[in-house]
């Protein structure tokens, strides 16, 4: 018999307010806008360590740190093929290739993420990978399964699930 244990964490402070615009496959984009995102994390392991999946006191600051890093920023996906991004003085300049929209934003207000697009799905994937990285760096531990949900608006969320290879 195989056992599976999990914990779920979703605190009031697991949130971030950010602006973005989606780039579509044809190179068009949606208008610049923002959301108040909420994050929920579910972690699973087949065995308990010290009778716990993972200490809540250790996972909560990691998730909060990631949310805080995304908060109050214009998030730009640096891996998107439809964008040209460069630094000009104290500004980050973003050019959309199809319609040639030009955004010049103070660099301190921009967050360049290594993602393909700024969908809730890609945010969930990014947050999941950051949790995995930080938990391993701090505790030398990987969850068997790590699930991250990013709610864009109430009742509308994307979920990314990462399973470790055995």
Segments in 15-79 forming alpha helices (H):
56-70
The total number of structural domains that make up the chain: 1
Tokens of 139: 């505790």
Q: What is the mean pLDDT of residues 40-51?
A: 92
Q: Is the pLDDT of residue 1 over 60?
A: no
Residue range 68-127, pLDDT digits in tens: 999 999 999 999 999 999 999 999 999 999 999 999 999 999 999 999 999 999 999 999
- pTM for the model stands at 0.95
Q: Is residue 102 part of a domain?
A: no
Domain residues for the domain of 38 are: 5-24+32-78+117-163
How far, in Å, are 54, 135, 137 from residue 143 at the CA level?
9, 9, 13
Q: How many CA atoms lie within 13 A of 91 on its CB side?
A: 8
Give me the CATH number covering residue 68: 3.30.479.10
How far, in Å, are 43, 44, 92, 157 from residue 112 at the CA level?
27, 30, 9, 22
Query: Taken in order 75, 77, 81, 85, is the CA torsion positive or negative?
Result: positive
| Number of C-beta neighbours around residue 29 at 10 A | 17
Residue range 66-75, pLDDT digits in tens: 999 999 999 9
Q: Is residue 56 part of a domain?
A: yes
Q: Is residue 153 part of a domain?
A: yes
| CA atoms of 63 and 124, how far apart (whole Å) | 12
| CA atoms of 121 and 92, how far apart (whole Å) | 25
């Amino acid at each position: 018999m195989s056992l599976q244990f999990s914990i779920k964490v979703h605190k009031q402070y697991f949130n971030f307010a950010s602006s973005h615009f989606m780039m579509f496959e044809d190179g068009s984009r949606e208008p610049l806008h923002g959301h108040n995102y909420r994050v929920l994390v579910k972690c699973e392991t087949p065995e308990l360590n010290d009778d716990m999946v993972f200490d809540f006191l250790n996972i909560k600051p990691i998730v909060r740190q990631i949310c805080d890093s995304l908060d109050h920023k214009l998030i730009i996906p640096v891996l998107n093929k439809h964008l040209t991004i460069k630094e000009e003085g104290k500004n980050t300049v973003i050019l959309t290739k199809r319609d040639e929209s030009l955004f010049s934003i103070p660099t301190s207000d921009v967050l360049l993420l290594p993602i393909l697009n700024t969908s809730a799905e890609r945010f969930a994937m990014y947050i999941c990978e950051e949790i995995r990285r930080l938990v391993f760096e701090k505790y030398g531990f990987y969850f068997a399964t790590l699930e991250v949900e990013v709610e864009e608006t109430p009742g509308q969320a994307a979920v990314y699930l990462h399973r470790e290879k055995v």
